[in-house]
Structure 1
Amino acid sequence: MPKLVTKREVCNLKRIRSKLHRSSTYSFGRGFSRSPHPLSNIPVTIFTAQDCKHISNKVGAKVASSILQEVVWIVLEGVLERGVEKLGIDEFKNIISLLPKDVNSTVSLCINSIKRMYDGEDYIEVIDNNDLNAVLELLAQFVSYNGITAANQKIAETVHAIFKS
């Protein structure tokens, strides 16, 4: 099924590292348009690091970002489609089945913590789930400390060069 929310919209989410259990985190905070400017010139966030070419040597950061990005899709599309923000066990298993086997130990511990939260259930709530938030915040910090700053510096240099020419 096609995504209802585009990558361009995900690039404009309000928060970048914390309070991932609050619905306000998933609201759009940056001004944006649907004009065809390259996504490669937009600052990287925890939700978009997975797609950033400047973080190619940081496999763990990309893996952590892929989990956070899936949570974004679930929340934003869940609200649009069915009015719920639940991460299904099948969706989560699909995410982790695509992950490399040599993932960073921090990311691996976070994945195992999320798996335990299901405890026989098919879904876990995202909004108002403090336990899930604690794990997602660890993933967000990991992504932030492993490439976002350097990637955004490179993007800033590119944008500067565009305006300078």
Structure 2
Amino acid sequence: MAFNFNALVDEFRRTNWQEPGTWHVAPKLLVLLAIVVGIPVAAFFADTQSQIEELENGRNQETKLKEAYLGKKKQAINLDLHRQQLREIDTQFGALLRQLPNRSQMDALLVDINQAGLGRGLQFELFKPAPSETVREFYAELPIQVKVVGNYHDMGAFASDVGQLSRIVTLND
């Protein structure tokens, strides 16, 4: 059984496309195939494609929301620990703030520094507080130029004594 392609082409040529009732079997099958394939393809692109995109967007959003949920869940699990740490930090910060001298305590602090040096047998050649303080976010700095004469061990002991003061003092150079 050989397939005659020329006969099929000839059948399509002789078909009167204006009168479907007179069509031969091959054109009818071709139109039926076009309808059977065309309708699902058209439906896919008309409606299903947008639904697939919407589904994919929903899956992406679900993934992002799950990640956000897990991050917040970890934070919630550690919330009590974070609150405890915050209380400890507040306590430490308050203690440090209390160690910073205020303006009324500056004179006493300068006297304490001077006494620490004299107590170690050092001689002050220069003890000159700056005329104004530098204001920072939580504190103010008041630089003091000091020239001290003494031996190495006495200088170390003086630095240790200044470090032991109840107020925060930093030594440079």
Taking structure 1 as the reference length, the TM-score comes to 0.20
* Bigger RCO (CA 8 Å, 6+ sep): 1
Taking structure 2 as the reference length, the TM-score comes to 0.19
Which structure has greater strand proportion? Answer: 2
Structure exhibiting the larger radius of gyration computed from Cα positions: 2
Which structure has greater helix proportion? Answer: 2
